[in-house]
Structure 1
Amino acid sequence: EENWPSRLVERAELERLLVEAIDRMPPIEKTVLSLYYQEELTLREIAKIVGLHESRISQLKSQALLRLRTYLEKCWPMKRGQA
């Protein structure tokens, strides 16, 4: 595909924005996302590790994903429009 270099640049920029958004999160939200997506633990397993109820872990995961979505919606279209 002839457009692959620009897609690589876009992907790198998106990854940078994700890292930036995660860095801005409260530590507990980072921990929950890391354990859920990187370590592939269940919400119940995460709850046992951090000492919170499973329902609270679910809330924290939802908050973190909303925070990511909001940050990317704010930054990503602007970045793409500049390209």
Structure 2
Amino acid sequence: MNNERRKRLDEVMALISEAREQLEEIAAEEQEAVDNLPDGLRESGRGERMEEVAAALEEAVSSLEEIESSLEECKA
């Protein structure tokens, strides 16, 4: 890989890393909100939806981690 493409790849990796970090924060905040729900509300449709969102955010974080790993392999 030439220097120009390597530089562009580094820029993309930085953007992905920033997105992952922000998603981690949002996921943690959403999970904390779920954890702080009273039991009755947690078992409601709203509570279940909040849990689904928290899980989906964690899945997105994992996907970005996989992408980061794949891109690191490209640089090797």
Specify the structure having the higher radius of gyration (Cα): 2
**Structure with the larger helix share:** 2
Q: Tell me the TM-score normalised to structure 2 length.
A: 0.46
Which gives a bigger RCO, structure 1 or 2 (Cα 8 Å, sep 6+)?
2
